[in-house]
């Protein structure tokens, strides 16, 4: 493979909306040179994305179970939100896990967050703590696990595996309606969505406004329609190189950190436990896709959401996103991890001043986990600007200066 093709593919893969780096290789499990050479054609695709991809190892008999590394021990999310609730959403047959820190004042603003595919609500834990602290409680944060993610459960006899964009949007809107039943009494909402979640919150804006909720803005984190769709054909290659499971929670956290999926180890220790589950759990046993879930898995933990099973929905998540974002009747913010990710429609919109854009340096796709402090600063500046705009101007009385 030529150097030009290698660099081209690396640039494309760097824009993948799901940001799934290749499987890391432990020194004790490193393949011999012949096996490594056999994987060279695939490994070339991952230049600049961490360790090179390698062929699958043999059966589980050759695996060495790793001792958990205490440096990557899980951290409870209890210190990052005021409360963790299971919110019943009967119209969607869901029992949603919601993490919430309310604003100090009744007329405050709440940032409502939606995670990306394969992630979970605690992906926003460190960011939530920064937002509340920096604003001195003027803003609150609510983050919920989507269906088939985190600790959200179905109340139906069998879990609906459909992750169509329309279903996800309806889930999101109904969850907000379950938390704040009276739109007029609800706080002002600022919607924040990462990757797939960016598509969900963007499409939810008109639905919530029609229902009477006040939406002061929408912030989309590191997803652009054009580059996302261009990258989707390469997703299966990345999934083929992804571990099927892990021997411990610590190993899962370590993998995410060492492969730079999440570059902040502290955030990974909070968020990663929510995206895996014991392979012995009924949900894992019932799963038939993803390559790890189900009976007979050699791993103690497997993925909560086998991403391969979501492939049919990938195009729908991102098609039409740019137009929906530009048409949203509220303030708009796009946060990116790189300046080369705008598609043509967004480039034109940016030149016309239709939205605010900010680039966060030194981060990967999960920018809100990698640098929660910087992302919080940008979001709060966005909130303050638009919060002032929505405040009615005081009418001066006769004789007032």
**For residue 232, which of 342, 334, 316 has the smallest C-alpha distance?**
316
- Identify the helix (H) or strand (E) that includes residue 372: helix 372-390
Cα 112–114–119 angle (5° rounding)?
145
Would residue 195 show up in a list of annotated catalytic residues for this protein? yes
Q: Which of 24, 135, 177, 195 does the annotation list as catalytic?
A: 195
Would residue 365 show up in a list of annotated catalytic residues for this protein? yes
Residue in this structure with the two tokens 């109340």, named with its chain if needed: 155
> Rounded to whole angstroms, how far apart are CA atoms 171 and 167?
6
Total residues belonging to the chain: 401
Q: Which of 299, 365, 368, 374 does the annotation list as catalytic?
A: 365
Q: Which of 19, 145, 222, 387 does the annotation list as catalytic?
A: 222
> Rounded to whole angstroms, how far apart are CA atoms 190 and 231?
29
Identify whether the C-beta of residue 150 lies closer than 8 Å to the C-beta of residue 118.
no
**For residue 130, which of 283, 328, 266 has the smallest C-alpha distance?**
266
Q: Which two tokens stand for residue 345?
A: 């429609």
**CB-neighbour burial class of residue 278 (10 A; exposed 0-12, middle 13-18, buried 19+):** middle
Identify whether the C-beta of residue 377 lies closer than 8 Å to the C-beta of residue 32.
no
Residues sharing a CB contact under 8 Å with residue 98, sequence separation 6 or more, in sequence order: 84, 85, 86, 87, 121, 142, 143, 144, 145, 175, 179
**For residue 114, which of 12, 223, 188 has the smallest C-alpha distance?**
223
Task: Please identify every residue annotated as catalytic.
Answer: 195, 222, 365
């Amino acid at each position: 493979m030529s150097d030009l093709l290698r660099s081209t593919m690396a640039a494309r893969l760097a824009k993948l909306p799901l940001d799934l780096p290749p499987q890391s290789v432990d020194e004790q499990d490193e393949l011999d040179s012949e096996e490594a050479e056999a994987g060279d054609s695939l490994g070339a695709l991952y230049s600049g994305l961490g360790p090179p991809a390698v062929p699958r190892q043999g059966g589980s008999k050759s695996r060495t179970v790793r001792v958990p590394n205490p440096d990557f021990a899980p951290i409870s999310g209890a210190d990052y939100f005021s409360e963790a609730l299971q919110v019943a959403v009967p119209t969607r047959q869901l029992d949603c896990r919601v993490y919430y820190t309310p604003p100090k004042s009744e007329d405050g603003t709440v940032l409502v967050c939606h995670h990306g595919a394969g992630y979970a609500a605690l992906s926003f834990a460190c960011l939530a703590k920064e937002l509340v602290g920096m604003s001195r409680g003027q803003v609150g944060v609510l983050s919920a696990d989507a269906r088939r993610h985190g600790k959200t459960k179905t109340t139906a006899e069998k879990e609906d595996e459909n992750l169509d964009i329309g279903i996800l949007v309806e889930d999101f809107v109904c969850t907000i309606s379950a938390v704040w039943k009276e739109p007029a009494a609800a706080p002002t909402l600022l919607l924040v969505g990462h990757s797939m979640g960016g598509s969900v919150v963007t499409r939810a804006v008109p639905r919530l406004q029609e229902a009477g909720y006040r939406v002061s803005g929408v912030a989309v984190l590191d997803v652009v329609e054009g580059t996302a769709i261009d990258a989707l054909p390469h997703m299966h290659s990345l999934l083929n190189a992804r571990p099927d499971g892990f021997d411990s929670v610590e190993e899962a956290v370590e993998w995410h950190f060492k492969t730079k999926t999440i570059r902040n180890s502290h955030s990974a220790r909070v968020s990663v436990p929510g995206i895996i589950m014991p392979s012995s759990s009924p949900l894992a046993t019932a799963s038939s896709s993803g390559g790890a879930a189900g009976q007979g898995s050699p791993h103690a933990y497997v993925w909560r959401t086998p991403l391969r099973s979501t492939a049919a929905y990938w195009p729908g998540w991102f098609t039409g996103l740019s137009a929906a974002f530009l048409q949203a009747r509220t303030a708009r913010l796009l946060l990116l991890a790189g300046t080369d990710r705008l598609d043509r429609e967004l480039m034109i919109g940016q030149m016309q001043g239709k939205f605010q854009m900010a680039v966060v340096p030194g981060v990967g796709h999960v920018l809100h986990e990698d640098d929660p402090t910087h992302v919080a600063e940008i979001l709060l500046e966005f909130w303050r600007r638009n919060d002032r705009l929505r405040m009615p101007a005081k009418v001066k009385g006769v004789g007032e200066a």
